[in-house]
Amino acid sequence: MTDFAWASAGTIADAVNRGEASAIDVVDQALRRIDRRNPVLNAFTAVRPTAPVCVSQRSPSGHSPECRSR
Amino acid sequence: MRVAKKPVGPLAGVPFAVKNLIDIARLPTLAGSKINRERPPASADATLVARLEAGAVLVGALNMGEFAYDFTGENSHYGPSRNPHDPARMTGGSSGGSAGAVAGGLVPIALGSDTNGSIRVPSSFCGIFGLKPTFGRLSRAGSFPFVASLDHLGAFARSTIDLALAYDAMTGPDPLDPACSDRIDPPIIPRLHTGIDGLRIAAAGGYFRTGAGPEALTALDNVARALGATRQIEIPEAARAREAAYIITASEAGALHLQRLRTRPRDFEPDVRDRLIAGAMVPAPWVVQAQKFRRWYRDSVLRLFEEVDAFLAPATPCVAPPVGQKTFVLDGQQVLLRPNIGIYTQPISFIGLPVVAVPVPQADSMPTAVQIITAPWREDVALRVAYALEAHGVARAPQPPE
């Protein structure tokens, strides 16, 4: 699948609207990236894996369905 | 699952995150503090979050300086947010996590707040685009206040188009925020490409060049050159505007936190506590005078827009300092860092003018940003100028190494 880490919002929305990417996959990627980079950057204080489109049971590192706070 | 239907629209499936003074349903709105852990979780999403969620997907809450009284992005309760271009350096604050998340490629769009510079300073230190709209343009409903007279919500992105997409999705009246304007202007995206022909653009001189380090001046001069902005204008009494902004900031924030300062001072971050206590003791005549001056200053600056459509100023006097640094050299003087990073942003937000901060990468240096400042309600002009600078190549959000 396309790597959306540095993709613009416009690029992501176009891909989702055209059916070339699913919102679930895009958000899944973002959550994995947050998991990997946040220990260095300390930008997030809470991650919310069950965001509106439901990042499902496939979310990385077995997030609980509720919000996960540090 | 909160929304079963497939996301659609101009932000379909776009992950975004918000500074943790903006309510997220079922999460506590900590505003970077320890004290707010005792508040119940937010019962609903803030207005701006709900509007973005029409297509975009909220993925989390972002680190910030305690109660937003901060220009560094440091936080002793939750640890400092770190600059993706060099994690040993500050992000700037107080929307530090917002800028770090966008500059580090964790999300393409983040929301933050700006009272004295808290969007524009981290945009500068992290090298990304930031929009602080006109005071009253975006709803503040569902956000934790800092200084009601000066608080703005806004956005960060790595391109002008993304900034405009987020902005267009968030504008509009909101009965839940009495300060939010009833104005409805057409969306900006369709006009972003219309160019800058005919726009009169000047650089702010005098106060807005004094103390600026070499990177800040180079960025400003590169932007002015790209725009053909040869003219300089003087902003009258900008230094006094900054002082008055501080009087109003300190007194309103001191009043907001007074009960907590009295009953549990030790639960505040020490640097913030000291400023809040000082603020709670500001004499009322100073505050009244500051508000009177504010009207005079606003009228004076608005008159300048009869001659120019936009003016330019540095966003910060320097590039991001190392995390933990307490002082820096400003105009040859060693001064405290925390209160002095916003010298060029405070005189602008003081009267609610819209600003786009555009990042200007430079070889062998950390990035820094330039403010594009326009008349009230003319975010469209500021974004068009930013877009033109990006097309020219002078403005760009550099991708950091990992």
- Over residues B222-258, the pLDDT tens digits come to 999 999 999 999 999 999 999 999 999 999 999 999 9
Neighboring chain B residues of A64 at a CB cutoff of 8 Å: none
Cα torsion through B337, B343, B345, B349, rounded to 10: 110
Q: Rounded to whole angstroms, how far apart are CA atoms B131 and B374?
A: 12
Determine the average pLDDT of the residues in B111-123: 98
Neighboring chain A residues of B101 at a CB cutoff of 8 Å: 34, 41, 43-44
Quote the pLDDT of residue A49: 63
Quote the pLDDT of residue A50: 58
Determine the average pLDDT of the residues in B46-54: 97
Of A40, A44, A53, the CB nearest to B87: A40
Rounded to the nearest integer, the mean pLDDT of chain B is 96
Q: Is B94 a catalytic residue?
A: yes
Q: Is A6 on the interface with B (CB under 8 A)?
A: yes
Quote the pLDDT of residue B8: 84
Residue B9 has pLDDT above 90, yes or no: yes
Domain boundaries, chain A: 9-69
Spell out, as residue ranges, where chain A has pLDDT lower than 50: 52-70
Pair of tokens at residue B1: 């699952």
Tally of CA atoms within 13 A in the half-sphere of B232 that contains its CB: 11
Predicted structure pTM score: 0.95
Which residue of chain B has the CA closest to A54? B1
Of B13, B100, B157, the CB nearest to A12: B13
Residue B25 has pLDDT above 50, yes or no: yes
Determine the average pLDDT of the residues in B385-391: 98
Quote the pLDDT of residue A56: 38
Q: Is B5 a catalytic residue?
A: no
Interface test with A, best of B6, B11, B51, B57 (most A CBs within 10 A): B57
Q: Rounded to whole angstroms, how far apart are CA atoms B159 and B335?
A: 34
B114 and B91 in contact (C-beta within 8 Å)?
no
Q: Is B229 on the interface with A (CB under 8 A)?
A: no
Q: What angle do CA A55, A56, A57 make, to 5 degrees?
A: 130
Residue A28 φ/ψ region, left for φ over 0, alpha for ψ in the -120 to 50 degree band, beta for the rest: alpha
Of A26, A45, A46, the CB nearest to B15: A26
Which residue of chain A has the CA closest to B81? A42
Q: What is the pLDDT of residues B340-353, one digit of tens each?
A: 999 999 999 999 99
Q: Is B308 on the interface with A (CB under 8 A)?
A: no
* pLDDT band at B3; cut points 50, 70, 90: very low
Determine the average pLDDT of the residues in B178-201: 96
Domains of chain B and CATH, by start: 15-174+189-392 (3.90.1300.10)
Range name among B76-80, B328-332, B386-390 with the lowest pLDDT average: B328-332
Quote the pLDDT of residue A1: 76
Neighboring chain B residues of A50 at a CB cutoff of 8 Å: 1-2
Neighboring chain B residues of A45 at a CB cutoff of 8 Å: 20, 30, 60-63, 78, 97
Q: Rounded to whole angstroms, how far apart are CA atoms B371 and B353?
A: 11
Residues B1, A9: C-beta atoms closer than 8 Å: no
